[in-house]
Amino acid sequence: MELSLHTLKLAKNVNKKRKRVGRGNASGHGTYSTRGLKGQKSRTGGKNKLKRLGFKKILFRLPKSRGFKSIQLKNQVVNLFDINKHFKDGAKIDATSLFNANLINAIKEPIKILAKGELVVKNLELKNIKVSVKVKEQIEKLGGKIL
């Protein structure tokens, strides 16, 4: 059977009229207009912003959106003992080499090397990597460069 406008079967009550509330007792929705007796929900403006007993519990469930969140990215930390394990003398270290050694999670986020452990590897060349003061001293002592 071909599908066209005259062959469509409409669902029941498609053309049902909406309930007209508050139009007298003869309408079937008179007197209290299906709102019941007294109370906040029976009055105008009472449907939203309910200030009832349970409202405090709802407030506690909402996540707190206060405080401060920095838009700057945090440094990915790499320690000296990790560099000793993964790199040899004269290695050129940058974001991609650290990523390939599984020492950082992302290439585009900033990286900082901290002085946890003693540096053994000589003649290192660091490119676009932040270092702490102690790390800088150790690298320069062993003949390395920070670019």
**pLDDT tens readout for residues 42-64:** 888 776 665 666 777 777 788 87
The Cα–Cα gap between 146 and 137 comes to 11
What is the 8-class DSSP label of residue 9?
P
DSSP sequence for 49-68: S--STTHHHHHHHSPP--S-
- Cα separation values, 77 from 22, 71, 80, 95, Å: 68, 18, 10, 12
Instruction: Look up residue 68 and give its two tokens.
Output: 């401060």
Residue among 122, 22, 130 at smallest CA distance from 73: 130
| Mean local confidence (pLDDT), 5-28 | 79
For the 76-146 domain, the top CATH level (class) is alpha beta
Least confident of 7-21, 57-71, 116-130, 131-145: 7-21
The whole-model pTM stands at 0.55
**HSE-up (13 A, CA, CB side) for residue 122:** 3
Residue 146 binned pLDDT confidence (cut-offs 50, 70, 90) = very high
Rg, C-alpha atoms of the chain: 35
Query: In this predicted structure, what is the pLDDT of residue 1?
Result: 64
Residue 39 binned pLDDT confidence (cut-offs 50, 70, 90) = confident
**HSE-up (13 A, CA, CB side) for residue 25:** 1
Q: Say which residue the tokens 């206060």 belong to.
A: 66
Least confident of 16-30, 55-69, 114-128: 55-69
Query: In this predicted structure, what is the pLDDT of residue 105?
Result: 95
State percent of the chain over pLDDT 90. Answer: 51
